[in-house]
Amino acid sequence: MKRLSLLLILIFSTNCQSQINSKMSASKTNPLLCDPETGTCEMPANEKTYENSAIPTENKPVKIIYYTDPICSSCWGIEPQLRKLKLEYGTYIDIDYRMGGLLPDWSYNSGGISKPSDVAHHWDAASLHYEMPIDGNVWIEDPLDSSYPSCIAMKAAQIQSKDKAVKFMRILREKLYLEKKNIAKWENISEAASLAELDTKKLKSDYEGDAKLLFQEDLNYARTLGVRGFPTLFFSDGTNNQLTVYGSKPYASYENALLALYPEAKKKKIANENPLSLFEIYPTLAPKEYAVLLDISYDEAKDILENLFKNGELNKKSIKNGVLYSRK
């Protein structure tokens, strides 16, 4: 039964990937024109075709290689699903965050995007689609020249601590999507690093040195795995069994991939007796995240969080396309 289920998922994944690759090879793709229908921020197609290589596991039964980018709006869109996967199945998975380099520079000119300000309304649309707070006006007020600086900063953070690096990227994204901060600028990177309790002096040293090499390794490995867009998650049980979830998908897609590779995994129940308990794990939560984590409706999540805010138990940051709540 496991082999049959695995085979069906593999066939489905392969077919979807081939359709995407075919579509992308037909026309030049602008990496910042993220498609809500596919749930991806796609890179320009590379003419050379690569074959997936085996991904070894480490300390846990399933390894997940997660290709992302700090400025990937579709990746921000799967934060609810990814956070839920960690809570329910964290015992069984190791997630290896790899940086994709979504925007090397502004040499792209396709899909109606030729300059930073063209991205603004696309991000506003993505915010409404994913129900996650994004203010696209950063591309008008303080646009980024490249996503490479934030990718390199993430690799520098990982040298210090993988856990703090994940926290660091979350803070970077909140600064970008809600505060309209240009996270290609060192002052904003440094501020996020301080909030993530990283050593900023070491981060700067690694940022200017080893982190650049590590980022290049990520780019090279992406070509080996055939990464064509973000988010892309490769699930592996350490053998030749490997599943790919490409783009923003419902939570069940990520859960099913894990269970196909490791059926013995037992879901951990997320406690919901105390409405504030999730904030002990995740200091900031959007209503969509709260809803997905607790399997409740978006409107119900909004009502609960808003009542907690009115009672003085949470802080709240409001932007034109949504809100983010944080613990006091």
pTM: 0.87
* Dihedral angle of Cα 48, 51, 56, 62, to the nearest 10 degrees: 110
**What integer pLDDT is reported at residue 24 of this predicted model?**
33
SS3 78: coil
Tell me the one-letter amino acid at 291. A
In angstroms, how far is CA 264 from the centroid of its own chain? 26
**What integer pLDDT is reported at residue 146 of this predicted model?**
95
**What integer pLDDT is reported at residue 111 of this predicted model?**
58
Annotate 272-316 with DSSP letters as a single string.
Answer: -SSTTTHHHH-SEE-HHHHHHHHT--HHHHHHHHHHHHHTTSEEE
**What integer pLDDT is reported at residue 33 of this predicted model?**
62
Parts of the chain with a pLDDT under 70: 1-40, 42-53, 108-112
**What integer pLDDT is reported at residue 43 of this predicted model?**
64
**What integer pLDDT is reported at residue 287 of this predicted model?**
98
**What integer pLDDT is reported at residue 28 of this predicted model?**
43
**What integer pLDDT is reported at residue 113 of this predicted model?**
73
Residues, the chain: 328
